[in-house]
Amino acid sequence: MTQAGMGVMINELFSAHGGDVLQSAIGKTIKKLYIDDNRLHFEFTDDTHIVLFDDGQSCCELRYMRTDDDLDYYIGAMFLDADVSAGPPVEDEGEVHEVEFLIVKTSIGDFTLSNHNEHNGYYGGFYIKAYDFNKKEEV
């Protein structure tokens, strides 16, 4: 990773990652699973709804989330855990393109999302965060 951007540094100093939100979802059955606006949404059969996203945005970055996995396959599975892992740097003609993987573990297997951050080298890093969508607040 390059140097951490201001958004990542502020979040690391003053915010919680929402680990309690993630912990509260362990063992729940996934009813709906989708990416919307670069956020991974989990809706569970007990009508709870959590969201995972990269909250490290600084001024001049392009951040996005994607997956090649079929998220519909995991509907009906039990959510077990989520973890992040650094990806390899991507060559990008003078710009910096960082990748971090979000690995979600379920009762029927894992799926992987890639979080991307493209910038000029003065920004960087990732800040994967969880929040309870039903409370309409990001923690």
Q: Is residue 106 part of a domain?
A: yes
The single-letter code of the amino acid at 109 is G
Backbone angles phi, psi at 8, to 5 degrees: -65, -45
The per-residue pLDDT for 57 is 63
Total count of domains within the chain: 1
Q: Is residue 1 part of a domain?
A: no
Q: Is residue 114 part of a domain?
A: yes
Q: Is residue 138 part of a domain?
A: no
Our CA angle for 95, 89, 128, nearest 5°, is: 95
Give the least confident one: 22-26, 40-44, 56-60.
56-60
The per-residue pLDDT for 29 is 98
More confident residue, 60 or 48: 48
Helix (H, G, I), strand (E, B) or coil at 136: coil
| Closest listed residue to residue 88, CA positions, set 71, 74, 103, 101 | 101
Confidence of residue 134 (pLDDT cuts 50, 70, 90): confident
Per-residue pLDDT reduced to its tens digit, 104-130: 999 999 999 999 888 877 667 777 888
Query: What residues form DSSP beta bridges with 30?
Result: 44
Distance CA(77)–CA(57), nearest Å, equals: 31
- For the whole prediction, is pTM greater than 0.75? yes
Res. 44: pLDDT tops 90: yes
Distance CA(80)–CA(57), nearest Å, equals: 28
The per-residue pLDDT for 53 is 87
Q: Is residue 82 part of a domain?
A: yes
The parent domain of residue 116 ranges over 6-133
